[in-house]
Structure 1
């Protein structure tokens, strides 16, 4: 049996994962990652990491496994928080959960675990791993979790073959309800604990409040764009290169729309957002269809079906393309039919990858709502996540 270090988060998923590993006969060590302790940005009196670390310690004690806390707050601030500030300042929308897995759990944390002599690192993610040998090469497959409502493979879309080789997902084959049943049967304190909400490891925060620590409020205009203009703008962008045309971002001018109100900073908002505009009086709700941090302008449209929200294509720069299945990596000029998603919990949608000299294009069969720069597009074959990239 192996020596396994598990990230005990203080939640039910990692608690049950640790129990299952112990039951299988592995030597298990529980580590709690303390990644944030600036309570000035939380919106409640809760101290999430303190409560979570205490629950993790009680679970470890109940299971009879060694437990310790590791402080990764410096690396978290440097790699996640600073990156988030920088991305929002540029008018992009980062995904801290994907970044946290890539930069912290499967990098810094994994290094600590391996230094402790671990054969594997385990997490409570709802995803699965399969290992095969093809043409004499060992290949690790990242497979979706068995519970479709909890599948977290999207959050791990930036892991590598080397990281997967050293990772175990003990609960990936279970339904969430089964995980809670196991926790209750073992009398684990986390059995009925609610799933965590908010930013990865930071807790419940109002994003604008969090961002205002470094991104200062700056008054700008909210401009409503009529749907017909978005349609005509799309045709204006069209070229003989359909893949390129479908992936281009629409741009608008303030003079093309109607002033609806003001906001406190375009960098606090993202495409598809409805809440937080504080503008009423329209027949249908206003949705953000585009932001411009240079002019500090937010462009909005009425209704969730507004043409400005939808686009079929997206582009990923060469240095932002990541293949989990490196053996399937496309060469320039090659294409691949895939199933794709641009956000967590989104249903997989049919798409085609086009690898070109300037980068990777992903074109969906049907228009997608709120394709946002900074987010991750992930592509799949059946239940397997093959790779991902940051939307440019």
Structure 2
């Protein structure tokens, strides 16, 4: 039993991870309740299949099984304003936003946490594969999940110390097979449920089909970057991202010479492509700028050698972090990679690490 009966609200998505998060906290003796966050597209489902009603029923069934209160929290307006608007604005400006990272900062550990506190809860728990560690002096660190195949610390790169202080990650120490076993032994309805893919408001539909509903097409030329030859036409730069190989719309010469997107040129709305090779212009980079840096603990304000994860699922890589000298808070910086990195898209997130410990993150310029 915990020394104090901390009251925790568990964000239950209807999946097995958050179900076991609630189960673990219940078994540890905490005073908990479960809540499903009802988000914008749940009732404005123009495209895609987002089975939110089934998810609510699955989450409710788990809550009843383990004997906790369950409620549905309507965050549709906040989700629209803070995540969907950010997503659409990014694509309209020609960058590639990361709604999963923004959802964690703005919704789960933002408005949902505020709602929980307003209703008497001390903390919010999620089914993230990450670990929260208390340091001497009372501050907290965020560490990668024990299951490296499932680690989700990357998606938490923009949360701050105050948010982490009120965050709980009950399954961060578990490997996925063990989590499934616990769910099965407890008879949870979600024990064998397939993991969800992507973000719910897009469902099973491609991002292109979602964007078509909200961002007007602005056609332009498809240009080979090496010689400026026009190869075709595209419907809009927002349908493409750096490093994309499929669905470009121009044929390749052979199986071993496939085109890849290497850039976007705003002046004439040109989509720049090249054959996918180490020397493709713009495809690999050794130095990038990052802005909007956010730190889990104190900011890094002096040049140093650390590690970074350039995208989810990629391994950590060595880099030199050089904060802007005039920016003592560490809000922007230059990053130099030990090895060139492929297809870094403006608007995406670079997560920064000291070993397994997440330091924070920033957004590619």
Find the residue that maps to 2:305 and give its secondary structure: strand
Alignment of 1:87-236 (within 5 A): 87-133=90-136, 137-226=137-226
Find the residue that maps to 1:314 and give its secondary structure: strand
> Is residue 295 of structure 1 aligned with residue 268 of structure 2?
yes
Find the residue that maps to 1:40 and give its secondary structure: coil
Contact 1:312 1:366 in 2 (8 A): yes
1:200 CA drift (Å) = 4.5
Give the equivalent residue in structure 2 for 1:259.
230
1:97 CA drift (Å) = 0.3
Find the residue that maps to 1:154 and give its secondary structure: helix
Q: Go from structure 1 to structure 2 and tell me whether the alpha carbon gap of 1:200 and 1:140 turns closer, same or farther (over 3 Å shift).
A: farther
Give the equivalent residue in structure 2 for 1:379.
352
Alignment of 1:340-359 (within 5 A): 340-356=308-324, 357=326, 359=332
Give the equivalent residue in structure 1 for 2:293.
321
> Is residue 24 of structure 1 aligned with residue 28 of structure 2?
yes
Q: Go from structure 1 to structure 2 and tell me whether the alpha carbon gap of 1:274 and 1:391 turns closer, same or farther (over 3 Å shift).
A: same
Find the residue that maps to 1:33 and give its secondary structure: strand
Name the count of aligned residue pairs: 351
Cα distance in structure 1, aligned partners of 2:93 and 2:360: 25
CA deviation vs aligned residue, 1:295-317 (integer Å, no higher than 9, x gap): 21111111253432100111123
Q: Go from structure 1 to structure 2 and tell me whether the alpha carbon gap of 1:6 and 1:202 turns closer, same or farther (over 3 Å shift).
A: farther
> Is residue 3 of structure 1 aligned with residue 3 of structure 2?
no
Give the equivalent residue in structure 1 for 2:300.
330
1:145 CA drift (Å) = 0.2
Cα distance in structure 2, aligned partners of 1:341 and 1:102: 18
Find the residue that maps to 2:230 and give its secondary structure: strand
**Higher helix fraction (1 or 2):** 1
Structure 1 residue runs of 4 or more that deviate by more than 6 Å after TM superposition: none
Contact 1:267 1:293 in 2 (8 A): no
Q: Go from structure 1 to structure 2 and tell me whether the alpha carbon gap of 1:294 and 1:59 turns closer, same or farther (over 3 Å shift).
A: farther
1:201 CA drift (Å) = 4.5
Give the equivalent residue in structure 2 for 1:250.
none
> Is residue 40 of structure 1 aligned with residue 14 of structure 2?
no
**Contiguous gaps of at least 5 residues in structure 2:** none
CA RMSD of aligned residues (A): 1.4
1:365 CA drift (Å) = 0.3
Find the residue that maps to 2:181 and give its secondary structure: helix
299-308 or 173-182, which deviates more: 299-308
- Aligned with 1:367 (options 340, 351, 357): 340
Contact 1:34 1:71 in 2 (8 A): yes
Cα distance in structure 2, aligned partners of 1:200 and 1:371: 25
Find the residue that maps to 1:39 and give its secondary structure: coil
TM-score normalised per structure 2: 0.93
> Is residue 63 of structure 1 aligned with residue 33 of structure 2?
no
Contact 1:100 1:200 in 2 (8 A): no
1:214 CA drift (Å) = 2.4
Q: Go from structure 1 to structure 2 and tell me whether the alpha carbon gap of 1:202 and 1:115 turns closer, same or farther (over 3 Å shift).
A: farther
1:187 CA drift (Å) = 1.1
Cα distance in structure 2, aligned partners of 1:217 and 1:223: 18
1:209 CA drift (Å) = 1.8
1:26 CA drift (Å) = 0.8
Cα distance in structure 1, aligned partners of 2:69 and 2:295: 36
CA deviation vs aligned residue, 1:24-71 (integer Å, no higher than 9, x gap): 0111100000112221121xxx44211111111111111111001011
Cα distance in structure 1, aligned partners of 2:266 and 2:192: 43
Cα distance in structure 1, aligned partners of 2:97 and 2:189: 33
